[in-house]
Chains A and B, each alone.
Chain A
């Protein structure tokens, strides 16, 4: 690990040296502390208050917001939507990302161009990709319905963003399109670090392409897959931009993520309860991260 080496980095150490180190670190500590840690702490504090813009005064109400949270069906619905989204989207991202990585790891002409092409969905703003998908999902003149009807795959157009299940699916599809490239890049680096001698030995033993994939590629990639899953799960649990544009959380709350729910509360001016939801969003991410890291380490232990 990178951490293990950090301690050894010192050339010499003296008290003036650590003074300089603190000076070099000061901007980071001030910015991250002042604009991230303090706001997070402030949000935590606010979650114990009744703070509604149009109904002053701000008042300490203890755990009342948390009691409201526990009995709020909209909140539990948003938690369910968020977790479902994270599980489904991250699964398909991993599969598609692995497919991308396997292809662009091969030697062929224009490989460099292909790697850039794969990165394009990742590089453009999420809002832009959301708008493009929204247009493609359009009921009357969207590309998807046009193709569905004209290729005779369906007799009637689909109301993509209009029903709960299709809206959820549409969001997953757009998100997978946008984020599979990130997975692909991590997996590609993993593929490149697998010694080619392993494949050569397997080929001498007569292993087929698919046997080599199952018995060499996948097991060797496992540590990177775990890392990629952690990154992407953390990120997908905070999904906001895409849903904000595509459905705004509807229809009937079927695509309301916890971030969307919290944001709506803020927009309504309910900062106290909005903060409570935000605190919970963070707790949700924390739970997933801890579980992943535990499971990841557990698997490493199994290998030995």
Chain B
């Protein structure tokens, strides 16, 4: 059919255009990160010379602290992910399967929270963290992050739990299990894909968060990699684009790998909240 053919051609043009749009900035980051001089486009006299020196410098030069920032980000994001998923699982189970007063108020309250802008929280958090001397520690980030990702975590998990028939819990409880056992032995294993989706989204948003980390950390003891990159100054003045792009590449690695391997779960997580009726 003529139209079929036309459509196939359009689709392939679309694929090429999309791949170009989505990947070219990312590829450019890699190109510059391997360049001896980042300004090689400025003049024909400056050749593009491939080098690993930018990576060697940011990994080898302790005073740049890039690897410290990277480690801080990984630790904070990992702790937040585990804690948020555990907390949201318990809460999601209660919300989806138990009857109690004030349920609606709690659900709506948590959802409304996702509307708040970070700026309306960060000033107070700064004062709070200063008062309890938590500035520049992991816990100054971990606790606010867990609270911040709670709406999305709860929303995805509840939408998964709701798909499982309550007969499952009843059967387990007839067999003598209590609520907690029913949750851990029956519901959680069956919701594994939902838990995994939630974990991915929470990890990504905790790893990428900027404003809280900018305000609540002061140096490499707790500063995360987005803040490190945003405030990157290098050691000798002049914008060290090569090192900055190499740091950006390192910061992106975990996220790109997760995306490539677990694309399906990320998509499910993103759509679970919005579209489950």
Give A241 to B210 CA distance when docked, in angstroms.
7
Q: Which of B97, B123, B162, B204 has a CB less than 8 Å from the CB of A11?
A: B97
Asked whether A258 and B119 contact (CB < 8 A) given A13-B98, A22-B100, A114-B18, the answer is yes
Indicate if the CB atoms of B259 and A126 lie closer than 8 Å: no
User: 1/0 contact trace for A1-37 toward B, CB 8 Å?
Assistant: 1110111011101000110111011011101101111
Q: Which of A34, A35, A116, A240 has a CB less than 8 Å from the CB of B263?
A: A116
Q: Which chain A positions have C-beta within 8 A of B225? A: 125
- Interface residue A245 (Cβ < 8 Å from any Cβ of B): yes
Q: Which chain A positions have C-beta within 8 A of B124? A: 38-40, 42-43, 46, 275
Q: Which chain A positions have C-beta within 8 A of B29? A: 128, 132, 135
- Interface residue A263 (Cβ < 8 Å from any Cβ of B): yes
Give A13 to B87 CA distance when docked, in angstroms.
22
- Interface residue A121 (Cβ < 8 Å from any Cβ of B): yes
In the assembled complex, how far is the CB of residue B177 from the closest CB belonging to chain A, in whole angstroms?
Answer: 12
Q: Which chain B positions have C-beta within 8 A of A127? A: 208, 210, 226-227, 229-230
In the assembled complex, how far is the CB of residue A279 from the closest CB belonging to chain B, in whole angstroms?
Answer: 7
In the assembled complex, how far is the CB of residue A83 from the closest CB belonging to chain B, in whole angstroms?
Answer: 14
Indicate if the CB atoms of A5 and B211 lie closer than 8 Å: no
- Interface residue A143 (Cβ < 8 Å from any Cβ of B): yes
Q: Which of B14, B90, B252 has a CB less than 8 Å from the CB of A103?
A: B14
Which residues of chain A from 106 to 132 have any CB-CB distance to chain B below 8 Å in the complex?
106, 108, 110, 112, 114-121, 123-132
Which residues of chain B from 239 to 277 have any CB-CB distance to chain A below 8 Å in the complex?
241, 244-245, 248, 251-252, 255-256, 258-260, 263-264, 266-267, 270-271, 274-277
- Interface residue A286 (Cβ < 8 Å from any Cβ of B): yes
- Among B25, B38, B159, the one with the most A-chain Cβ atoms within 10 Å of its Cβ is B25
Q: Which of A124, A245, A282 has a CB less than 8 Å from the CB of B252?
A: A124
Asked whether A238 and B38 contact (CB < 8 A) given A3-B107, A21-B94, A126-B226, the answer is no
Indicate if the CB atoms of A27 and B90 lie closer than 8 Å: yes
Total A residues in contact with B, Cβ cutoff 8 Å = 105
Indicate if the CB atoms of A240 and B211 lie closer than 8 Å: yes
In the assembled complex, how far is the CB of residue B64 from the closest CB belonging to chain A, in whole angstroms?
Answer: 15
**Smallest Cβ-Cβ distance to A142: which chain B residue:** B41
Q: Which chain B positions have C-beta within 8 A of A38? A: 124
In the assembled complex, how far is the CB of residue B41 from the closest CB belonging to chain A, in whole angstroms?
Answer: 4
- Among B39, B94, B106, B214, the one with the most A-chain Cβ atoms within 10 Å of its Cβ is B94
Q: Which of A40, A117, A190 has a CB less than 8 Å from the CB of B120?
A: A40
User: 1/0 contact trace for B158-195 toward A, CB 8 Å?
Assistant: 11001000100110010000010000000000000000
Indicate if the CB atoms of A177 and B120 lie closer than 8 Å: no
- Interface residue A136 (Cβ < 8 Å from any Cβ of B): yes
User: 1/0 contact trace for A288-299 toward B, CB 8 Å?
Assistant: 010000000000
Indicate if the CB atoms of B162 and A2 lie closer than 8 Å: yes
Indicate if the CB atoms of A108 and B15 lie closer than 8 Å: yes
Interface band, chain B: 35 or more
Q: Which chain B positions have C-beta within 8 A of A209? A: 3, 6-7
Give A140 to B117 CA distance when docked, in angstroms.
36
Indicate if the CB atoms of B87 and A259 lie closer than 8 Å: no
**Smallest Cβ-Cβ distance to A237: which chain B residue:** B117
- Interface residue B82 (Cβ < 8 Å from any Cβ of A): no
Q: Which chain B positions have C-beta within 8 A of A103? A: 11, 14-15, 18
Indicate if the CB atoms of A36 and B148 lie closer than 8 Å: yes
Q: Which of B28, B42, B107, B126 has a CB less than 8 Å from the CB of A132?
A: B28
**Smallest Cβ-Cβ distance to B258: which chain A residue:** A123
In the assembled complex, how far is the CB of residue B267 from the closest CB belonging to chain A, in whole angstroms?
Answer: 5
User: 1/0 contact trace for A176-193 toward B, CB 8 Å?
Assistant: 010001100110111001
- Interface residue B55 (Cβ < 8 Å from any Cβ of A): no
Q: Which chain B positions have C-beta within 8 A of A52? A: none
Q: Which chain B positions have C-beta within 8 A of A32? A: 109-110, 113, 147, 150-151
Q: Which of A115, A131, A279 has a CB less than 8 Å from the CB of B229?
A: A131
Which residues of chain A from 256 to 289 have any CB-CB distance to chain B below 8 Å in the complex?
258-259, 262-263, 266, 271, 274-275, 277-279, 281-282, 285-286, 289
- Interface residue B143 (Cβ < 8 Å from any Cβ of A): yes
Indicate if the CB atoms of A182 and B270 lie closer than 8 Å: yes
In the assembled complex, how far is the CB of residue B181 from the closest CB belonging to chain A, in whole angstroms?
Answer: 12
Q: Which residues of A contact B (CB under 8 A)?
A: 1-3, 5-7, 9-11, 13, 17-18, 20-22, 24-25, 27-29, 31-32, 34-40, 42-43, 46, 99-100, 102-104, 106, 108, 110, 112, 114-121, 123-133, 135-136, 140-143, 146, 177, 181-182, 185-186, 188-190, 193, 208-209, 224, 227-228, 231, 234, 237-238, 240-241, 244-245, 258-259, 262-263, 266, 271, 274-275, 277-279, 281-282, 285-286, 289
> 6 A-B residue contacts at CB 8 Å?
A29-B106, A35-B125, A104-B18, A135-B28, A135-B32, A258-B119
8 extra A-B contacts, CB within 8 A, seeds A32-B110, A112-B264? A18-B98, A25-B94, A35-B148, A40-B124, A42-B127, A133-B25, A135-B28, A259-B211
